[in-house]
Amino acid sequence: MTEDDVDPEDPRPTGQYPRFADSDWHYVPDELAQTISLGPAGDGEEGQDWVLTYTPEKRDEDDREKILVRLTPRALHELHIGTKDLSVQQRQMGHRAECDLCGEMVDLDRAIPNARGEPCYKRCWAESTGAPDWFSDYV
């Protein structure tokens, strides 16, 4: 597909991406690529979200509206790793960490903090602390 094949009023490729058929699609041709920017939402203070901005093409140039997309630190991380040529395992590293007790990778949504606040498997925590018998029902 070339730039000439794209209809700025209907930029979704015909028959493509049916899951997003009802979503708003925007088109940024080569000459408008310079309207894309990514940077801190505020004055660059620690912890501020970032904003991705761009100006999509419209039939009437006066009708062009700047689009702003707020990116939390996690969303920015996802955008960064999503644009890299990473394997599935490497992409999941943002959602996983090394268990502080056994060294295997643990999903962060299943990890619990150990005494130092580091992520670990529940079973590893139970083994290292001598957890009561009833705790094994939750592991």
pLDDT, tens only, 60-84:
666 677 888 888 777 777 776 666 6
Provide the mean pLDDT of the chain: 75
Specify the residue for token string 């620690």.
Answer: 46
Give me the pLDDT at residue 102, please: 93
Can you list the residues of the chain whose pLDDT is less than 50? 1-2
Q: Which residues of 90-129 are buried (b: 16+ CB within 10 A; e: fewer)?
A: eeeeeebeebbbeeebbeeeebeebeeeebbbbebbbeee
C-alpha count within 13 angstroms, C-beta hemisphere, residue 20: 11
CB neighbours of residue 43 within 10 Å: 6
Distance of CA 57 to the CA centre of its chain: 25
The overall pTM is greater than 0.75: no
Bridge partners for 54 per DSSP: 67
8 Å CB contact between 40 and 50? yes
Specify the residue for token string 């708003």.
Answer: 24
